[in-house]
Structure 1
């Protein structure tokens, strides 16, 4: 599929960079656009391009994908460190990506959808509720409740140590020191890491070997921000925009039961797609084919109708 390098400015003047995908067949009229953002520390090269290419090869639609601020090819604010995730800023950046898409002559301004996976699967629930330019929401293996998710991931006897780490990091940053960081993943389950599950280590360590676009590092503050974040609190306000939520039945990273509880609070029109496997199984292989096929079907009858 044709792919264009793009960049756009956020509302606080940070440059985000990504790719704009279009169908192979030239269409003279403006097309619907799906704005796609990735999960916790992931960059656009980590399967996000596969979803965009498949969707634009199957439908008369464009896809805008980009790296989150401070990650991959995107800049960070001069006053902020790289490898830091502030959920409210990433949500604001999705809205700014929508604005960029609407500014393009080849995009139908009234047909904008948003797609998010994992951490951004939660972001799109928030943005889809509060930004009424959004006409459809696709949320894949979403992180829906930071407090509950944090305390599922972190052993209870480790929480006190993390609270101490959060305090020390705040004091250090206030004194002018660099932001503290921890690994995203670690092979040792007893070591401190942001995503302490075996499948997280396997997934990200494999990608780390494939290039320099992903870095095994995230700021300590990012974890404190995750715990405080409840992106599904407005899920009932997404309606009347259609919602498709994809949940992996054996997901332990963003637990399936938490996602299903959030889904139960969404209003119609909504659709649930349960796929087998764990958190990362829907990104590649035969489950990817099933997953993206359902997303294409949903977009065909909603955004592309």
Structure 2
């Protein structure tokens, strides 16, 4: 792959990414625009997808959200679904202007939390060729209720308390209150199911961290991309992990039913299993087949 670092503005903040191309000379390439999920950077475990897409002849533009990774934005590790949707739209508009890219053949690719973000972004934009949404978080409220289900209501109360402290600290001009993105069962963290810590930590790149500003616990339940699903008319591939403890599979399936042109693939694995082994290989095969049909 040829790697070209690039940057683009998103509402006054500089976001950075990398354009991956199969060679140095091709023009009019279809492009997969890609970013990671909850609190992660595009360097965190997405190399197999980038490599597979480039090998198939597609360009990939992978970027980091503001406040994360190589992108600017203060405070660091402050996750806002609203801002990240705006970053997706800014990245999309930026890629459409690149000389080497066919602006009419762009796929938005998201996984986990960004699997929901691409639904919201595609609904707002209305002109992307297709989307791929892998183990998607389609309803923040349902995900929070899942946390209550496996960790108990006390965990939700702890998250609310630390979220309150975070917003108060930031309102007073102080540094954020941080909590773990993934932790062991019983510990404080946004994801604490049995498979979360061991699944999340191996994905972390050098420019990623296993913590976020705690205030996300307040806004998380209000991010419900399932409500935008019916507005996504383009071809969509929904890759659902049936044993998902993070993003309830039943909600992803309901979202797909609301999308007029969605295909669904089910994998009998947990949320983090799709990044490795047989599930990864099968997911990539399914995605390449979908892209070959969608980019014709």
* Map of 1:229 onto structure 2: 223
* Map of 2:2 onto structure 1: 2
Residue segments in structure 1 that go unaligned for 5+ positions in a row: none
* Map of 1:54 onto structure 2: 52
TM-score, normalised relative to structure 1 = 0.91
Rounded to whole Å, the distance in 1 between the matches of 2:264 and 2:38 is 23
Which of 259, 267, 275 does residue 267 from structure 2 map onto?
A: 275
* Equivalent residues of 2:78, 2:216 under 8 A apart: yes
Rounded to whole Å, the distance in 2 between the matches of 1:186 and 1:103 is 41
* Map of 2:278 onto structure 1: 286
Matched, 1:297 2:289: yes
Rounded to whole Å, the distance in 1 between the matches of 2:107 and 2:202 is 31
* Map of 2:170 onto structure 1: 173
Matches within 5 A, 1:1-305: 1-10=1-10, 12-24=11-23, 26-27=25-26, 29-58=27-56, 60-76=57-73, 80-154=74-148, 155-187=152-184, 189-208=185-204, 212-239=206-233, 241-267=234-260, 269-302=261-294, 304-305=295-296
Rounded to whole Å, the distance in 2 between the matches of 1:174 and 1:3 is 40
Shift of 1:133: 2.5
Rounded to whole Å, the distance in 1 between the matches of 2:111 and 2:203 is 17
* Equivalent residues of 2:147, 2:156 under 8 A apart: no
* Equivalent residues of 2:112, 2:134 under 8 A apart: yes
Residue segments in structure 2 that go unaligned for 5+ positions in a row: none
* Equivalent residues of 2:166, 2:213 under 8 A apart: no
Residue-by-residue CA offset, 1:133-167 (whole Å, 9 max, x unaligned): 31101111110011111121132232233333333
Rounded to whole Å, the distance in 2 between the matches of 1:273 and 1:292 is 12
TM-score, normalised relative to structure 2 = 0.94
RMSD: 1.6
Aligned length: 293
